[in-house]
Structure 1
Amino acid sequence: MRFTILLSASVIGLSGCASLNSLSKIKPEPTPVAAQQVTPTAPIWDEAAPEDLPTTDWVGSFSDATLTQLVSEALDANTNIRSAAARVDAAMQRARIAKADKLPAVNASSSYTRTQTNLPFQTPTNIDLGVTATWEADLWGRIKDGVNASNFELGATQADYAGARLSIAGQVTQAWFDLIEARLLTELSERDVDTQERALRLTQRRFEGGVTGSSDVRLARSSVANAQALQASREQRLSSITRQLEVLLRRYPAEEIQAAADLPVLPPLSGAGTPGYVLRKRPDILALEQRLKAQGLQIDIARKNLLPTLSLRGTTSLGATSFEELFDIDALVLRLVASAAMPIFQGGRLKANVAQQEALLRQQLESYAGAALTAYLEVENALDGEQRLYERELALRTSLDEAREAENRLELRYTEGLATILQLLDAQSRRLSAEGQLIGARKERLANRVRMHIALGGGLETDGVFASYNAASAAP
């Protein structure tokens, strides 16, 4: 069933950014009602609502305890996730800095001056203590817009953190399945080497008995060498994937992780949700939406920089020639000054800044549209892969069964002298190819399911609008 895409011609999901007053200047084409109905309004995440972030609970659906433990380890130790967590901390501090602009700034100063003169017993001393407080009245809401923009940026950074966790969970899961596939293929190569060596011994006995020629022995030796070469290549790949997985876990790549004996059973798929569900769950989409809102506020801030500002400045100071006179109340001086400033000429800098912020918003709108299209594409491809990969696996199982039967019969006929070595080697090659492809197909179905979880932002919606694939998923 099609994963229906509802998009505006120029802007996707502006209903999620309805608070952007600055969009009126850009004059985008109106968003169709259908697109408005599927576009979510993402929440602003904070420390109090971590449950709103997309999760990695989908890993448990594979019923693999080792995989679950590896993903948990990676989520705690992976360098990319730790880096993303540090960026969230930095964004929190930036939000606090923005909030501080709403409050007065108070500074204290002091000075002690002692002047040496040529006059005897005269060393003039001046001691000054002062406190200065400044505060800007938020007449037009510019400071408030800055605070809100920082909050939106914080929400975007938290979405990036959720995306990093989702990505690493997917990478670890894919690497684990690749590792199991590599082990199965390595074991297949080991069995194939044994099979080719057995065929070589049989051919040598036939040659020694005068039944066959030396060319058959050479062909058998060539097949053994080819099987050994393939085994070495697969062993190298197994080692490489093991180290890759260890790096994801922030371990030293020492090739110590042991793969499972077989790939897990593919869990059933009940549904994948609606287009609006994808936009609500994808961390990259949520981050872009938060940044759209922040950028809209940046335009408002740039425009309000063209307006007058009102600030208050209060100072109090004490001056004395000795510490005894320092705290004399008569020496206390208080000043309170109100000042207004209006930009008159700055070479077009402020207006150019407004135009720049509007251009950045248009850029982010296009990025949002592109990300939404990419999300829909990934879900469509994953859904299509569910059925196609199932059909491929069924065909490869049939191919393997037939190849095994043909190999067994030809090996018997070769022993009886009724088949040539070329026929036997061809049958063995077909069986080996079919078995290897079947292992790859099983792994690819699992990998496709992981890609679907990632495309959906870390979950599957059971009450979705798509047809069930239980029949495909239940296949061996």
Structure 2
Amino acid sequence: MSMFRRVVPHGFRAGRLSALLLAGTCAACMVGPDYHKPDAILSARFKEIPPPPGWAFADPHYAELPKGHWWEIYNDPQLNRLEERVNISNQTIKADEAAFRQARALVDEARSSLFPSASLTPSITRSGAGQGTSTLASSIPTTGATTVGNRSLGESDITRYELSGTLDWEPDIWGRIRRQVESNVSGAQASQATLDAARLSEQTSLATYYFEMLYQDSLIALLKQFVSYYEQNAAINRNQVAAGTTDPSDLLQAETQVASTKAQLVSAGILRAQYEHAIAVLIGEPPAALTIAPGALPTTIPAIPVTIPSLLLQRRPDIAEQERIMEEENALIGVAIAAYYPTISLSATADYAGDPIGSLFKLANRSWSIAASAAETLFEGGLRTADVRAARATFDQAVANYRQTVLTAMQGVEDQLSNLRILAEQADAQARAVDLANQAVVVSLNQYRAGTAIYTTVITNQETALSNAETALGVQESRMVDSVQLITALGGGWSTSDLISKTALQTDNPLLPSFISPDKN
């Protein structure tokens, strides 16, 4: 009786207890802790705000990332087309989507235990008994049956029809099944968050590869431009050597410059092809099936709406995943605690038998039974206590993982904000370096043509100019990639409202009884 006092509300009468056994569930009788979301470790604002001069964030009150299509912020039609294909054909996303469907099926599987199980067994038995040993049979029937010895075939043979049914039910008195359903529902939501996080990751990878490919395109265009310059210089030196006015070593140096720059072109082409191949795989295509037209790296990055850190809790699918895992593990504590309580089972059987079949359902041919039983484990050597401790420890681990995910998310935002701030300063300084290097090339080339400078000076200045131009392109590539990473760190336009609701997960079965009231969150 002490077991009942622990879970039955004060003033609960015997009649109501009987009703509870029949209903099989009661919201007040679910053992285990109810879920309350633990606090996350958050700062009031991001350290790296405001942005540096010359680059601004979009006002979060008036601008948001495009819902589900964050890449549209770059206003690149080719990128838009490729990103759309990720959602359709990416195999990693397909695998995670199948895992989500499996998690949804587990909800239905756990919920099925709330219902009785019924079985029906029909059977037909033909039997006979005879006397005597004669094998002679009368050829003229007199009673409608053939006689063999002292036995009348058809009179002593019996056909028996039988129909039996059973109904078994384990009422969810202590809420073990409902806690399991609660856990599986949260697990299904976590699985969807995993799917959304994987989708965002694949979209981010594609955008990153795309801008890195455009960097290679821009680098190829830059190298071709310098190859053209170097070839002009080599032609000038070739004419001067032919005229005997220049040392042949100057021509060799000029031709070496052309060859080494062409070698850089080949290397850039290799990387460009690899990025295109990677993009093809991300959209679910063999590399041979995709050809992307060359483009140019954007010279500016878009304004990105940056909000306060607390909004990351609603806008990052990986954080939502960890939060749902916490509730999943919290419910399993109740499942473990329910093992302390007795298991109550109800069963009923009914049998009908008759011959012929028309008499099958006569009351005289009916038998039935109803039974109730309870089972309680008295000793398991501390197994149930260990299970509860393990469940609580797993929940504590989930809380720590959740808080660490939030901290890592804030770190990711701060990293990208600082990267963009520092890269903006570097881009300004590098642009100045490129301008000065180009001026030095012009001056040294004029001096060489006037005979006041050796060709080595020209080569040095040209190589410096190319190196600075390549660095400037690299800085802009880093800015574009970091802007993609910042958008990802902010959740890519995702929201917890995108998660399937608990109600949708639990009420899609029309057999769900009215006394089960899932949360609507």
Normalised TM-score (structure 1): 0.81
- Aligned pair 1:412/2:446, yes or no? yes
- Aligned pair 1:233/2:267, yes or no? yes
| Match of residue 289 from structure 1 | 323
2:44 and 2:454 map into 1 onto residues whose CA distance is 69
1:239 partner letter: A
RMSD: 3.0
1:217 Cα deviation from its structure 2 partner: 2.7
Cα 1:210–1:250 shift into 2, 3 Å? same
1:31 Cα deviation from its structure 2 partner: 6.5
Cα 1:264–1:246 shift into 2, 3 Å? farther
1:196 partner letter: Y
- Aligned pair 1:212/2:246, yes or no? yes
1:297 Cα deviation from its structure 2 partner: 0.8
Is the CA contact 2:43–2:309 (under 8 Å) kept in the aligned structure 1?
Answer: no
Q: Which moved more, 1:380-389 or 1:316-325?
A: 316-325
1:71 partner letter: E
| Match of residue 107 from structure 2 | 95
1:114 and 1:222 map into 2 onto residues whose CA distance is 103
Secondary structure of 2:346's aligned partner: strand
Equivalence map 1:173-188=2 (5 Å) = 173-188=207-222
Cα 1:387–1:21 shift into 2, 3 Å? same
1:422 partner letter: T
2:44 and 2:458 map into 1 onto residues whose CA distance is 63
Cα 1:321–1:423 shift into 2, 3 Å? farther
Is the CA contact 2:42–2:407 (under 8 Å) kept in the aligned structure 1?
Answer: no
1:297 and 1:304 map into 2 onto residues whose CA distance is 11
Q: Which has the larger radius of gyration?
A: 2
Cα 1:449–1:65 shift into 2, 3 Å? same
Cα 1:339–1:219 shift into 2, 3 Å? same
Cα 1:118–1:216 shift into 2, 3 Å? farther
2:177 and 2:159 map into 1 onto residues whose CA distance is 43
1:335 Cα deviation from its structure 2 partner: 1.6
Equivalence map 1:135-214=2 (5 Å) = 135-214=169-248
1:78 and 1:144 map into 2 onto residues whose CA distance is 36
1:57 Cα deviation from its structure 2 partner: 3.3
1:103 and 1:376 map into 2 onto residues whose CA distance is 45
1:263 to 295, 298, 307: 298
Q: Which moved more, 1:276-285 or 1:118-127?
A: 118-127
2:271 and 2:32 map into 1 onto residues whose CA distance is 51
1:166 and 1:293 map into 2 onto residues whose CA distance is 23
1:218 Cα deviation from its structure 2 partner: 2.6
Deviations 1:49-90 (A, max 9, x none): xxxxx9433222212222222212212221222222222222
Is the CA contact 1:453–1:460 (under 8 Å) kept in the aligned structure 2?
Answer: no
Is the CA contact 1:272–1:460 (under 8 Å) kept in the aligned structure 2?
Answer: no
Is the CA contact 1:126–1:319 (under 8 Å) kept in the aligned structure 2?
Answer: yes
Deviations 1:250-275 (A, max 9, x none): 12212411143442631124x52222
1:289 partner letter: E
1:61 partner letter: I
1:21 Cα deviation from its structure 2 partner: 2.1
1:280 and 1:129 map into 2 onto residues whose CA distance is 57
Deviations 1:90-142 (A, max 9, x none): 22221122222211122223344557989775777655432221111121111
1:456 and 1:335 map into 2 onto residues whose CA distance is 63
Deviations 1:140-177 (A, max 9, x none): 11111111111111111121122122222212211221
1:406 Cα deviation from its structure 2 partner: 1.2
Is the CA contact 2:171–2:344 (under 8 Å) kept in the aligned structure 1?
Answer: yes
Cα 1:450–1:36 shift into 2, 3 Å? closer
Normalised TM-score (structure 2): 0.74
1:458 Cα deviation from its structure 2 partner: 1.6
| Match of residue 439 from structure 1 | 473
1:294 Cα deviation from its structure 2 partner: 0.9
Identity in percent: 26
Secondary structure of 1:133's aligned partner: strand
Alignment coverage as a number of residue pairs: 422
Secondary structure of 2:164's aligned partner: strand
2:91 partner letter: T
2:361 and 2:451 map into 1 onto residues whose CA distance is 119
- Aligned pair 1:75/2:87, yes or no? yes
1:129 partner letter: L
1:323 Cα deviation from its structure 2 partner: 4.3
Is the CA contact 1:411–1:424 (under 8 Å) kept in the aligned structure 2?
Answer: yes
Cα 1:142–1:422 shift into 2, 3 Å? same
1:450 partner letter: V
Cα 1:31–1:260 shift into 2, 3 Å? closer
1:304 Cα deviation from its structure 2 partner: 0.8
1:61 to 62, 73, 87: 73
Deviations 1:212-247 (A, max 9, x none): 333323322322221111110101111111111111
1:104 to 88, 113, 116: 116
Equivalence map 1:305-454=2 (5 Å) = 305-320=339-354, 323=357, 325-454=359-488
1:349 and 1:117 map into 2 onto residues whose CA distance is 57
1:36 and 1:401 map into 2 onto residues whose CA distance is 42
2:124 and 2:242 map into 1 onto residues whose CA distance is 110
List runs of 5+ in structure 1 lacking aligned partners.
1-18, 25-29, 39-53, 462-476
Cα 1:304–1:213 shift into 2, 3 Å? same
1:352 Cα deviation from its structure 2 partner: 2.7
2:229 and 2:255 map into 1 onto residues whose CA distance is 12
1:292 Cα deviation from its structure 2 partner: 0.5
